Amino acid sequence: MSHTTARSRTAAFGLSALAVLALSACSVADQTGGGSSEEQGSDAPKKTVTIMTHDSFEPPKELLEKFTEETGYELKTTAPGDAGTVVNQLLLAKDSPTVDGVYGVEDHSTHTLVDGGVLADVTPEGLPESAKDRVVEGKMIPIDQGQVCVNVDHEWFEDKGMDEPQGLDDLTKPEYAELLVVTDPVTSSPGLAFLAATVEAEGEDGWQDWWTKALDGGTKVASSWSDAYYTDFSGGDGEGDFPLVLSYSSSPAYAPTTGNVEGTCTPQTEFAGVVEGAQNPEGAQAFIEFMLSEEFQEAFPESMYMYPIDESVELPEEWAENAQMAEDPITPDPKAVAEHREQWLKDFTALREDR
């Protein structure tokens, strides 16, 4: 799977209205789809468990086959789109759920689902120590983690003889603002995370001033992560004009001449849960527990470009060398983001339109 596929996660759950999108289910264990648990019969050795995921869910096939072997559950996944679309679908179908569980909900959407009555209580066995304080109200279980960061093209700055920026305050300075490309928070998951980080760092009274300085200084807002990273960014595989790009802390693992501006990093955790009223809640919990296993956790970096939530799991060598997460990231309160992001997005859009 390409770096592009794994990291192209847009934030459809923004200003746009909730749209009903057709679910396109596919069986991971059997690409022909397989039958439902009712079709297989109550005494069938394999019962189906259906999990809704975002469209970047691509773990190794052999791991999913192992899940079936160990639990007796045949896994089916449905991927209606990005993480925002997943949230929309679950809210729309909460009175008649079509899936048993969900994976891939990000920090800023967890309380939307919890408060919406979409999720059941779940207490998985084998929860890693590093995950215990991140469980959301007993309903959303952290599975993997990462950080959204501004990436820097080290070679560009070395060639120009310029110092690299160190944090958010530097990015609004004229010499750096014109070198930065970010992604639109209305349409991009990292864009939303970064917007929330600027609100957290600058405060409700200061974040719009930060963005005014950045935009007036020449900062570009791209519609998607792929456009920003592969078209506008000068580092990695890009040949663009911007040596600073909003991306992920994991990106330098695949582009060693780039790095992270640690003072800009903000956490991004992906969660899983059991859907209230599910046909097979036991199967959904079993899959959550399987994703928390050491073997599955070890697969996250290379298959889905995220860090394991189990921090005792060793990272691949290139990650350990080039893609360590920032130790002191900017950490907004997810509940506050859920409560205020619609207004922030409206304000951000108005700010851009005034330019």
State how many domains the chain has: 2
With a CB cutoff of 8 Å and minimum separation 6, the contacts of 301 are 250, 253, 307, 308, 315, 316, 319
Contact 47, 22 (CB under 8 A): no
Structure tokens given for 229: 């990273």
How many CB atoms lie under 10 A from the CB of residue 43?
Answer: 5
We report the CATH number of the domain holding residue 56 as 3.40.190.10
| Main-chain dihedrals φ then ψ at residue 3, nearest 5 degrees | -60, -35
Together in a domain, 123 and 187: no
Mean pLDDT of 324-347: 95
Together in a domain, 313 and 237: no
pLDDT of residue 15: 38
pTM, full prediction = 0.84
Together in a domain, 164 and 291: no
Buried b or exposed e, range 139-170, using 16+ CB within 10 angstroms: bbbbbbbbbbbbbbbbebbeeeeeebbeebeb
Q: Which domain holds residue 20?
A: 3-146+268-321
Identify the residue whose tokens are 């820097």: 152
Together in a domain, 236 and 170: yes
Together in a domain, 157 and 300: no
pLDDT tens by residue, 124-164: 999 999 999 999 999 999 999 999 999 999 999 999 999 99
Together in a domain, 100 and 238: no
Mean pLDDT of 8-12: 45
pLDDT tens by residue, 105-133: 999 899 999 999 999 999 999 999 999 99
Together in a domain, 22 and 110: yes
More confident residue, 32 or 108: 108
Contact 82, 10 (CB under 8 A): yes
Together in a domain, 175 and 93: no
Together in a domain, 176 and 102: no
How many CB atoms lie under 10 A from the CB of residue 70?
Answer: 11
Together in a domain, 162 and 128: no
Alpha carbon of residue 284 to chain centroid:
20
Together in a domain, 171 and 281: no
Together in a domain, 89 and 165: no
Count of residues in the chain: 355
